Every structure is written in structure tokens, then in C-alpha cells.
Amino acid sequence: MRTAQKAGWVSKLTALKGKQANALFWSPAGRFIVVAGLKGFNGQLEFYNVDELETMVTAEHFMTTDIEWDPTGRYVTTSVTSVHDVENGFNIWSFSGKHLYRIMKDHFFQFSWRARPPSFLTPEKEEEIANNLKKYSKKYEAEDQDESMLLSEQKQEKCRMLKEEWDMWVNEWKWMHEEEKLQREQHRDGETSDEEEEYEAKDIEVEEVIDVSEEILHFEYGQE
């Protein structure tokens, strides 16, 4: 509705046809809109980028009754309140339609975002930042890259220390194994016990008499 040449000039951008929608929810920051099908459309959602004139994501939150953008325009909630007896709760989405969070809650009546506190910056400072956003972005991207490289170096150093600790443990285990091998050979008169192919496994059954007892039984004559 506003351009550098004509303030307040209104022009048609596009028309979205054939949509299962009966409600529109604009982001407070502009640019993005949720095209929603509530009530009879059972919670059909379309996250639309108006600047690019393209659909980012289509989704569904069955039986949705309410949709609320957060004050920053970064997140949006879809809720099912106690108007319905089932599916009560809410979902949180990103501005681009990525599903982030889901809470089911019986007897759920309302979801409200905390109001955004006023900015500490003056309108002039906000305008300056907006005009020089690319310069600030490059600065912070460089700082992020430096931080990422530092974290990467720390991670590599940690991996190196863990590798050295592992190698020390393996070498110690090998040394102990060789010591025990020599002891086993001594107990077996020089025969090694490490080469399993030199041995043959056999099942041997052994019968052993545990106890033998005799008992004399007395019978009277004529008794069967």
C-alpha cells in the first residue's frame, strides 16, 4: 500500500483461488499470513509469503478454533478450546509453518501471548538499524564464524585428548594381556592358551555313585 513513489497507493498483488479457507491472520510484522480453514474446514492451514507470492507450508490442526500471532511475528499458535469436548490444547508454529510444539490440555479455554515490551531504541535509531541491516549482518556473521571456529577447535582438542586416553588404555590392556600370557604359559609348561584352533572341545559324561545303602525287610510266612 506504500511505495517510494506513491504513498498510500493500493495495487492488487495476486488472488488466491480454490482455497479451503474462511479466515486470514496477518503477522503483526507484515509479509506473512496464515490462510486458515476453521469450523467446517477442520483446521486447514496455509502459511503464505506475500512478498514472494508463494505458499511456504500447508498443514492441519484438526478442529482449530483460534489462531494467534506473537507480537514479534516470529511465532503463531493454533488452539482448540473447550468449544469442543476433545482435542483441547494448542500447537506452536514458526512464521514459516514449521511445527515446533504441541500441548494437549483438557478444559483449555484460551491462549494469549505476553505483550511485547516497548523498545529502548528511538524511532531514529530503529530506522538507522533497518537502513544498515546488511552492514550489521556482516559484522555479526563474522563474529558468529569466529565463535564457531573457536568451538570447532575446542571440539577437536577434546577429541584429540579422548583419542590419546583411549590409546593409553589400549596399550595398557595389551601390556597386561602379554604379562598374563606369560603366566599362563608357565602354568601349562610352555603351552599357549591364546590359539583356540589348537584345542578341541569335547562333551564328557561322568557317572558317579553318590551313596549305597542296604536295608533288610522282614516278611511273615504267607504274607504276599
* End-to-end C-alpha distance for the chain, whole angstroms: 122
H/E stretch holding 60:
strand 54-60
**What are the pLDDT digits (tens) for 126-174?**
888 888 888 888 888 888 888 888 888 888 888 889 999 999 999 998 8
Q: What is the CA radius of gyration of the chain?
A: 39
Torsion 162-166-169-175 (CA) sign = negative
**Residue whose grid cell is 505483550:** 115
**What are the pLDDT digits (tens) for 6-17?**
666 777 888 888
Map residue 89 onto helix, strand or coil.
strand
Torsion 42-48-50-54 (CA) sign = negative
Query: In terms of Cα–Cα distance, which of 137, 142, 81, 135 is closest to 112?
Result: 81
**What are the pLDDT digits (tens) for 161-216?**
999 999 999 999 888 888 888 887 777 766 666 655 555 677 888 888 888 888 87
- Domain positions in the chain are 23-117, 119-164
What pTM was estimated for this model as a whole?
A: 0.54
Q: Classify residue 79 by burial, with Cβ atoms within 10 Å: 0-12, 13-18, 19+.
A: buried
Distances (CA, A) of 101 to 29, 43, 48, 106, 131: 22, 17, 20, 17, 34
